[in-house]
Amino acid sequence: MLIRRQTDIPFEQDSAGRLLPWIVAIMIYLSGVAIAGAIALNGLVSTWSSGLSGALTIQIPADAETAKARQQADAVLALIRKTPGVGQARRLPRQEVLRLVRPWLGDDTGAGDLPLPILIDVRAAAGAVIDTAVLSAKVAAAAPGAVTESHARWAGRLIGLARSIWLVALLVVALIGLATVLTVVFATRTGLRIHRRVIGLLHLIGAHDRYIARQFERQALWLSLQGAVIGIAFAIGTVFGIAHLAGKIELQPATGAIFTPLQWGIFACVPVVAALVALLTARITVMRTLRRMT
């Protein structure tokens, strides 16, 4: 076994080595949270953009329950349903409009007495594109003051935001990875200095540099794997905690952002990757340092 075999070097005397698992745990926790946030945001944006793609909302101004406003809404609905590319058009019930404004107005503000606008939700047919400019002009003629808003603009902004955050998350993970590598280098060099006499004795009895390097590799792999498992466990706990809180405040997209099986698999590979990086870092550090010592 590569992990936790009996070694010829007394690593238990190495204070820097004892700190390595905790440093790696912190690094992996931060990396895990950054990766989880990027994946969750990507899932939210995918959900939102698919819902906003080909969607329009038409507002008919706020004296919504007058006979004239209702007539205008009926005329606009008839016009929209005849428009090429429209798959579905419906007037939102007043209770649904109230539900949409409740997060801003609250439950006890008498929102039911407010003159709310009439909202018409329009969805494009599968594979079709609605000419928003032409439709907006027709709606304005049928209902002066009506506003036609295309959701595609918001979808584009969300996608741009998601890409920017993905890049930031990748940068954060890369910087944390670099910090982890530097930590392993420092711990390995400290171990080499602490055990210099033991290493010299091993050389005297015929041990090769590769044999000595393997001792440090196993130690770095074991300590880093311990820390990485602790860090990823806390990161997973954080993901579930945030999802639970999001569910309590009825933030529906966030509760759906728990990972797919493939994403969980990628997440589970983080400790293994961290341990292998630590192993390779320790190997390279030891071999280079021993060459200078001889």
Residues in Cβ contact with 69 at an 8 Å cutoff, skipping those fewer than 6 apart: 60, 61, 63, 118
Judge if 43 and 67 occupy the same domain: no
Judge if 93 and 223 occupy the same domain: no
Judge if 42 and 176 occupy the same domain: yes
120 near 57, Cβ under 8 Å?
A: yes
Considering the domain boundaries, does residue 198 fall inside one?
yes
Considering the domain boundaries, does residue 4 fall inside one?
no
Judge if 111 and 186 occupy the same domain: no
Boundary residue ending a domain (145, 167, 202): 145
Number of domains in the chain: 2
222 near 271, Cβ under 8 Å?
A: no
Full-model pTM: 0.67
Judge if 222 and 101 occupy the same domain: no
Considering the domain boundaries, does residue 3 fall inside one?
no
Give 53's DSSP letter. Answer: T
Considering the domain boundaries, does residue 173 fall inside one?
yes
Cα separation, 188 vs 203, in Å, equals: 18
pLDDT at 105: 63
Cα separation, 169 vs 190, in Å, equals: 31
Judge if 284 and 178 occupy the same domain: yes
Integer angstrom CA distances of residue 169 from 26, 28, 186: 16, 13, 26
Least Cα distance to 276 among 187, 141, 184 occurs for 184
pLDDT means over runs of 10, the chain (294 residues): 56 72 91 84 69 73 66 81 80 77 61 71 76 79 79 71 83 90 88 81 80 84 90 88 68 53 81 89 86 69
Boundary residue ending a domain (145, 164, 190): 145
pLDDT at 26: 93
Considering the domain boundaries, does residue 276 fall inside one?
yes
Considering the domain boundaries, does residue 57 fall inside one?
no
DSSP E strands in the chain: the ranges are 55-60, 86-91, 118-124, 147-150
Residue 75 lies in domain: 62-145
Considering the domain boundaries, does residue 217 fall inside one?
yes
Judge if 132 and 276 occupy the same domain: no
Boundary residue ending a domain (111, 145, 179): 145
Judge if 90 and 184 occupy the same domain: no
Judge if 136 and 254 occupy the same domain: no
Judge if 33 and 70 occupy the same domain: no
115 near 65, Cβ under 8 Å?
A: yes
Q: Which two tokens stand for residue 116?
A: 């709310």
Considering the domain boundaries, does residue 150 fall inside one?
no
Judge if 166 and 275 occupy the same domain: yes
